[in-house]
Structure 1
Amino acid sequence: MLRLFAFLMMLLASPGVFAQDEGPRGIHATEVVVTDTALVPHARPAIVAGELKTQRFVILHTAKAAGAARALAGQIEGVRDAFGAMLGRDWPGTTEIRLGVGRQEFEALALPGGKPPGWAVALAYPGHQIILLDALSLSDTEGPTTLRHELAHVALGQLAKDWPRWFQEGVAQNLTDERYSVAHYSALFRAVTQERVFHFEDLSDEWPDVPADVEIAYAQSAAFVAFLTGKHGSHAMGLLVDGVRAGEPFEQAFGKAFRTSLLLEEQDWREGLAARYGWLPLTTSSALLWLTASVLCVAAFARRMRQKAARMTELAAEDAAEDAALRLLAAARAAGPLPVDG
């Protein structure tokens, strides 16, 4: 229990435990959304070796990415169906996915003037319904999440314009199940216990500059969208999409779709934060068991490693002693029998 308490205190006092100074981790550090609609797709890039078509997608791929393209073609329609189930609407038209292998091919598939940053492995052009992916990222553990995240940005960009930043990121994370991560829980735990939860009006256009606050902004956006979806359902979400698509300001469309105001819904959501992410659930729910088990596992692993290291040292000492004894025996044999006195 003392170890668990120490772990929780470290979590509270050190935002860097889950939000490193270099910025957001995971797909937030590897994906880019290009909203510049002035970029114009020219002729098909010369590096494209083939294409695969599904009902609502066309996948352009290089020769090296042919296998990844075939695998993606078998999955992509099901992924899009899941989006419609949450948003209550499917976005129109055909979405283009460009697949290349490695940095050189990835950059060669980008739109003219829209070269991706060196750290990005995924890029979305929502205004053009184009997604650019390094096929190598699809085999990574976060590959499917990266793809879904980019699709979410394309979906919202095609369904309507002028979405608040928090809503875009919240929807994207719910469609990728990122909100269930330990990093999100820890960010909200810090936000609640340190009273650092942002007002969503402050996350409408701008995003925080401090990495630890960026993690909080992502986490609370995901949690609030999940709250709205769970409370009102996909039908109301679809009405919200319809309103914003028709040109209504977001808050006006929100009020019509959910029959309440954004401010009241935010207040309702905030009232339940302490019960879900404060100290109370850590001491009264299965979260305590989970954290305790995690700490015990880490402690057991550390103890096992110490025991293993000690055993290896012991074996090395035994081997050294045995080698020394063999050398002495060999030396004695080489010297011959000892002389016998008179």
Structure 2
Amino acid sequence: MRHLLVLLLLLLAMPKAWAQHLGEGSSLHPHGHEALVDDVVLVPHARPPLVVGEVTTRRFRILHTEKAAGAAKVLATQIESVRDSFGRILGRDWTGVTEVRLGVGREEFEALALPGGRPPGWAVALAYPSHQIILLEAQSLNAPDGQQTLRHELAHVALGQLARGWPRWFQEGVAQNVTGERFSLTHYSALFRAVTQERVFHFEDLSSAWPDLPADVEIAYAQSAAFVAHLSARYGPVAMRELVDGVSRGEPFETSFGKAFHTSLDVEETSWREGLAARYGWLPLTTSSALLWLTASVLCVAAYVRRRRQKAVRLAEMAAQEAADEAALRLMLVAQQQAPEAGSAPPGTTPLSQEVYWQGAPSEPEHPEVAPHAESSSGEFTVAPEHDSEPVDMDGDGSKARVPKPTLH
């Protein structure tokens, strides 16, 4: 949770210059791989030459190239359940059989398109709602957002088959809500930038056209999803079904909107825009308990970085000390090797190669006067009889006696 909040803080703290840079040339936006062609003039032609097989289900026909045969079989096992979920969300299912065209690689993907409806260079999925046809690049289904892309295009087909004349913002908003795309940090970040920089579009301007700049595209997608979610939460699924039914009967969207929600689109949009600052501005960040966790997370990261730096400095000091000790040892070894070669040691020094003995005790005479002795069990000293010592006149009367030489123990 803390890592998620830190990421949110980084996204929300983007400077204005960075946002302007996105608007000038970045190609990153949440739907940079999806496209919509809602042109009734397009006429489906015969089966494309690249198509080599067909996999059919109860409500789908999957045309595939030779390289996409495996992907077609896998998709056939999943797509019916996806369509069932749309029936539960929108309250009804659309009629007819929906065609899905699968190709591998850019060349096959473009070759499967309808005449005059070539997909943009950045798209890997394309919907023709009026003709109930979906074009997919097969490898995109294995991407992390592959199933989301499929559901998004199916949402366009569902709305196109249930009614005509949907505003572009409503189509994109419904598609993102039924696929769960509106619950993302990217959308929140886009709306935050739009609110703080006062760049929220009027839905009148998003009815048929769509922005060109990538940063504006992000905002258009995000606010469309947020407004449709607002309508669904405030008025409920019954009002949403009434809106769909009204448009399917041929009523203008604004007329059906007024009948279903008992208000006009302009009034509801104004009310929604007034509450954006409270949901996507600085106030939610400064008044929520999440700010405490954000601050604590930043402090933890700073403490960790400081500890790592201190440890690195200590290791560097230890390495330097070890290198100095090794250098001193090498110098001592060199000095020991050079001393014998010099022939003599300097005055006042002792060569390292000569042994030094303690000279404090006198050495024994070459011919000792007294033989070695031993101490008896009674504690008296005895003298070995091997050598006689010189007689000593103890009393001065000419008699001589032998005196044992004391020995220290």
Which TM-score band applies after superposition, normalised by the shorter structure?
0.7 to 0.9
Q: Given residue 261 of structure 2, which amino acid in structure 1 is its aligned partner? A: F
Instruction: Tell me what 1:284 maps to.
Output: 287
Q: How does 1:237-256 map to 2 (within 5 A)?
A: 237-256=240-259
Task: For residues 124-148 of structure 1, give each alpha carbon's deviation from its aligned partner in whole angstroms, at most 9, with x where no partner exists.
Answer: 1111111111111111122122212
Instruction: Tell me what 1:157 maps to.
Output: 160
Instruction: Tell me what 1:204 maps to.
Output: 207
Distance (Å, rounded) in 2 between the aligned partners of 1:192 and 1:151: 31
Instruction: Tell me what 1:112 maps to.
Output: 115
Instruction: Give the unaligned 5+ runs of structure 2.
Output: 1-5, 344-409
Q: How does 1:61-72 map to 2 (within 5 A)?
A: 61-72=64-75
Instruction: Tell me what 1:340 maps to.
Output: 341
Tell me the percent identity.
Answer: 68
* Displacement after TM superposition at 1:28 (Å): 2.1
Change (3 A) 1:205 1:23: farther
Query: Which structure shows the bigger proportion of residues in helix conformation?
Result: 1
Greater length-normalized contact order (CA 8 Å, ≥ 6 residues apart): 1
* Displacement after TM superposition at 1:249 (Å): 0.8
Distance (Å, rounded) in 1 between the aligned partners of 2:21 and 2:237: 32
Match of 1:186 among 189, 194, 212: 189
Instruction: Tell me what 2:347 maps to.
Output: none
Change (3 A) 1:56 1:172: same
Quick check: 2:11–2:189 contact (8 Å CA) kept in 1? no
* Displacement after TM superposition at 1:291 (Å): 5.0
Q: How does 1:1-342 map to 2 (within 5 A)?
A: 7=10, 10-11=13-14, 13-14=16-17, 16=19, 19=22, 21-23=24-26, 25-285=28-288, 287-288=290-291, 291-292=294-295, 299=301, 303=305, 340-342=341-343
Distance (Å, rounded) in 1 between the aligned partners of 2:152 and 2:134: 10
Change (3 A) 1:5 1:140: closer
Question: Which has the higher mean CA deviation after the structures are superposed, 133-142 or 279-288?
Answer: 279-288
Change (3 A) 1:183 1:175: same
Q: Given residue 160 of structure 1, which amino acid in structure 2 is its aligned partner? A: A
The alignment partner of 1:29 has SS state of: coil
Q: How many residues align?
A: 327
Distance (Å, rounded) in 2 between the aligned partners of 1:87 and 1:141: 25
Question: Which has the higher mean CA deviation after the structures are superposed, 158-167 or 110-119?
Answer: 110-119
- Kindly name which structure, 1 or 2, has the bigger radius of gyration based on alpha carbons: 2
Question: Which has the higher mean CA deviation after the structures are superposed, 220-229 or 139-148?
Answer: 139-148
* Displacement after TM superposition at 1:109 (Å): 1.7
Distance (Å, rounded) in 2 between the aligned partners of 1:18 and 1:59: 41
Question: Which has the higher mean CA deviation after the structures are superposed, 29-38 or 203-212?
Answer: 203-212
Task: For residues 176-198 of structure 1, give each alpha carbon's deviation from its aligned partner in whole angstroms, at most 9, with x where no partner exists.
Answer: 22211111111111222333322
Task: For residues 187-225 of structure 1, give each alpha carbon's deviation from its aligned partner in whole angstroms, at most 9, with x where no partner exists.
Answer: 111222333322222222233344333322211111000
Question: Which has the higher mean CA deviation after the structures are superposed, 66-75 or 280-289?
Answer: 280-289
* Displacement after TM superposition at 1:159 (Å): 1.5
* Displacement after TM superposition at 1:111 (Å): 2.0
Quick check: 1:97–1:131 contact (8 Å CA) kept in 2? yes
* Displacement after TM superposition at 1:227 (Å): 0.7
* Displacement after TM superposition at 1:97 (Å): 0.9
The alignment partner of 1:40 has SS state of: coil
Task: For residues 265-306 of structure 1, give each alpha carbon's deviation from its aligned partner in whole angstroms, at most 9, with x where no partner exists.
Answer: 223322332221122211223553675577578x579949x7
* Displacement after TM superposition at 1:167 (Å): 0.8
Distance (Å, rounded) in 1 between the aligned partners of 2:20 and 2:205: 25
The alignment partner of 1:51 has SS state of: strand
Q: Given residue 341 of structure 2, which amino acid in structure 1 is its aligned partner? A: V
The alignment partner of 1:98 has SS state of: strand
- Over the aligned positions, Cα root-mean-square deviation in angstroms equals 3.7
Instruction: Give the unaligned 5+ runs of structure 1.
Output: none
Change (3 A) 1:260 1:9: closer
Instruction: Give the TM-score of the pair, scaled to structure 2.
Output: 0.69
Question: Which has the higher mean CA deviation after the structures are superposed, 228-237 or 127-136?
Answer: 228-237
Change (3 A) 1:85 1:139: same
Task: For residues 243-283 of structure 1, give each alpha carbon's deviation from its aligned partner in whole angstroms, at most 9, with x where no partner exists.
Answer: 11111110100111122222232233223322211222112
* Displacement after TM superposition at 1:82 (Å): 2.5
* Displacement after TM superposition at 1:157 (Å): 1.5
